[in-house]
Amino acid sequence: MQRYSFQKYDKEKMCRAKAFFMPVSAKHSREIAKFIVRKNALKVMNELEQVQKLKLVVPFTRFKKDMGHKRGIAAGRYPVKASKYIAELLKNALANAKQKGFAEQDMVITHVNASLSLPKERRRGKFTTFEIVLENAPAKKEKKQEKVEKK
């Protein structure tokens, strides 16, 4: 059985996906995780594609020693390899949401965890375990219409 770090999981409103031993930097994964949390999942997919095309910069907040500044933010980079793997995992999470009957445009990333995973036999560097939890959050316009109808 897989263990998730997210403990408040509700099967009726949420879906999740987890990848083990991704061959990407844990530092880059952590910065991307901070960049994508609490955002719409489809918007994040578009942003990760822009990072892969070197059009959008991921701001680095913790691991930024000797890092150049980018326009509009202090320190940042284009973690292409990590964004590619995370985009694939996000596609998997969206497929899980679709399987449960949720609309893809309503899914919001509520929890992201990037951690270092060390296998027993380590031959080619370090690996990362990445976890994404999506929540079905209807658009704000629909919530406002429901409030008006109740009054």
Question: pLDDT tens across 4-46, in order?
Answer: 778 788 889 999 999 988 999 888 999 999 999 999 999 999 9
- Superfamily (CATH) of domain 14-150: Ribosomal protein L22/L17 (3.90.470.10)
Which pLDDT value is given to residue 3? Answer: 72
Q: How confident is the model at residue 150 (pLDDT cuts 50, 70, 90)?
A: low
| pTM for this prediction | 0.84
DSSP the chain: ----S-----TTTEEEEEEEEESS-HHHHHHHHHHHTTSBHHHHHHHHHHHHTT-SPEEPSSS-TT--EETTEEEEE--HHHHHHHHHHHHHHHHHHHHHT--GGGEEEEEEEEEEE--SS--SS-EEEEEEEEEE---HHHHHHHHHHH-
Alpha carbon distance 29, 48 (integer Å): 12
Angle 99-143-11 from CA coordinates, rounded to 5°? 30
**What are the tens digits of pLDDT across the range 48-90?**
999 999 999 999 888 788 887 777 788 888 999 999 999 999 9
Alpha carbon distance 45, 58 (integer Å): 14
Contact 91, 45 (CB under 8 A): yes
**What are the tens digits of pLDDT across the range 87-109?**
999 999 999 999 999 999 999 99
Which pLDDT value is given to residue 145? Answer: 61
- Whether 141 shows a pLDDT value over 70: the answer reads no
Mean pLDDT over each residue of the chain, to the nearest integer: 87
**What's the chain's Rg over C-alpha atoms?**
17
- Whether 142 shows a pLDDT value over 60: the answer reads no
